[in-house]
Amino acid sequence: MSLPNPFDPDVKLHRGGCSCGHHRNQAEHDQAHARDQREQQDRLVEGTVMRALFPRDAERRRFLKSVGAGTALAAISSIFPLGLAKEVFAETNGPLEKTKLSVGFIPITCATPIIMAHPLGYYSKYGLDVEVVKTAGWAVVRDKSLAKEYDAAHMLSPMPLAITIGAGSNPIPWTMPAVENINGQAITLAMKHKDKRDPADWKGFKFAVPFDYSMHNYLLRYYLAEHGLDPDRDVQIRAVPPPEMVANLRADNIDGFLAPDPVNQRAVYDGVGFIHLLSKEIWDGHPCCAFAASREFVTDMPNTYQALLKAILDATAYARKPENRKEIAAAIAPANYLNQPVTVVEQVLTGTFADGLGNIVRDPDRIDFDPFPYESFAIWILTQMKRWGQIDGDVDYANVAREVFLATDAARLMTEVGMEAPTDPVMAFSVMGKPFDPSKPEAYIESFPIRRT
């Protein structure tokens, strides 16, 4: 908006109205102004496209005269995504639709970028006033997101997929534009099991995972099954909110858990458990938590969504660097965020930690932050959902993955904040030495002897 010229006799400066005098108030004026700007941008895009299609103007005029403007527009739209081009152009330029946002999180280190962006000022850097709200459990995060109390939220990466396909809730299109963290989980066992390091001895154990639709659940099941244990018959796996895990371990209610940090480190800190293995030893580089928003938010407020995503990506880039980890630990440990002793959070983020058995382990890759949502991650998650009977029937793996994991958006905005983005949204990887081919998901499921399908 430009400032009105106070020497212009047509300009009204007082008594309601707007600066140009044509609208009832300034808000309406701004709205009209934004609309004009948007129209101008659209014209600009259309002009560019037409110039590219018809290098000589005489040709363009002849074409338009012979078929008519409407037909021409339809014909061009059919070969060139004009609407999309306009949208993409507008997205990177337009004003924020909403600046006061509410983002939910669960107090675990997986949420590091979402949380740290608040005390370290990444949200305000992109013009957003974000309230980060601590939430009591994953089901509550899901329900509050569905109820639109949260504009976006920290979720487990299988959750947007589950919500979209309607597993455990009504199907509502959900998206996951960024992975929060990779690695960063661990299997912790009660102290009394310190001699039972071989999973074959774990028959009859009671385990806890944070949620049914979680990487924790799939990784634990995978790990047990690879060691010949049927996760549904030989052991018990319960969904327990992370803070209750340590208390339950102390009370001898469970034998162990595969949990997000800092829960594992907290069990060591309190002397009730030891870290059996880090989740990176099951699948190095596995995604865990996610930054998720509804498809509606992404399409209705494209500029706000992009600013928010940029803030998260920027924070993630900062969190990636090992030299910043101590500062981040100190910023997110207080009661307002994780509510944990600083040393516990620091051990998780720096990777120099006590394992509970008297050893100091140094593993800088214990947790890392790589935001790119590879579509093959989504496909793997879907295969495990199907493997353990959470979904049945035919699954359009590649399509669901593409719809939910917004790799294109992530790549574009990662480049904008100065990160290096991969070019291929599909990456092959292996889990416990077994390669996963994302193009053959059904064959992958068939290859497991222990499965529910």
Residues that bind other proteins in the complex, under the rule CB under 8 A: 107, 118, 131-137, 139-140, 143-144, 146-149, 242-244, 246-247, 250, 266, 268-271, 334-337, 339-341, 343, 347, 352-354, 356, 358-360
Least Å from the CB of residue 15 to other proteins: 39
Least separation in angstroms between residue 172's CB and other proteins is 13
Minimum gap (Å) between residue 272 Cβ and other proteins:
8
Tell me how far, at minimum, the Cβ of 98 lies from other proteins, in Å: 18
Distance from C-alpha of 353 to C-alpha of 351, rounded to nearest angstrom = 6
Task: Choose between 95 and 341: whose C-beta lies nearer to other proteins.
Answer: 341
Rounded Cα distance, 359 and 366, in Å: 15
Q: Is 343 helix (H, G, I), strand (E, B) or coil?
A: helix
Judged by CB, which is closer to other proteins: 37, or 102? 102
Least distance to other proteins, CB of residue 156, Å: 17
- Give me the phi and psi of 206, to 5 degrees please: -110, 120
User: Which tokens is 119 given?
Assistant: 């005390």
SS3 251: coil
| Nearer Cβ to other proteins (141/406) | 141
In the complex, minimum distance from the CB of residue 292 to other proteins, in angstroms, rounded to a whole number = 18
Shortest distance, position 440 Cβ to other proteins, whole Å: 38
Using CA atoms, how far residue 307 sits from 105, 125, 170, 230, 241, in Å, is 18, 9, 29, 45, 31
* Closest approach of other proteins to the CB of residue 441, in Å: 32
Contacts of 31 (CB under 8 A, 6+ apart): none
Choice between 118 and 310, CB closer to other proteins: 118
Q: Which long-range contacts (CB under 8 A, 24 or more apart) does 222-230 make?
A: 222/282, 222/384, 222/431, 222/432, 223/187, 223/199, 223/258, 223/282, 223/432, 224/199, 225/448, 225/450, 226/432, 227/198, 227/199, 227/200, 228/200, 228/450, 229/199, 229/200, 229/202, 229/203, 230/450
**β pairing state of 182-183 and 367-368:** antiparallel
For residue 426, which amino acid is it? V
* Residue 143 CB coordination number (10 Å): 14
Nearer residue to other proteins within complex by CB, 74 or 357: 357
d(CA 101, CA 37): 25
Closer residue to other proteins, CB minimum distance, 29 or 276: 276
Pick 257 or 388: Cβ nearer other proteins: 257
Nearest to 348 by CA among 271, 240, 259: 259
Q: Quick one: 202 or 269, whose CB is closer to other proteins?
A: 269
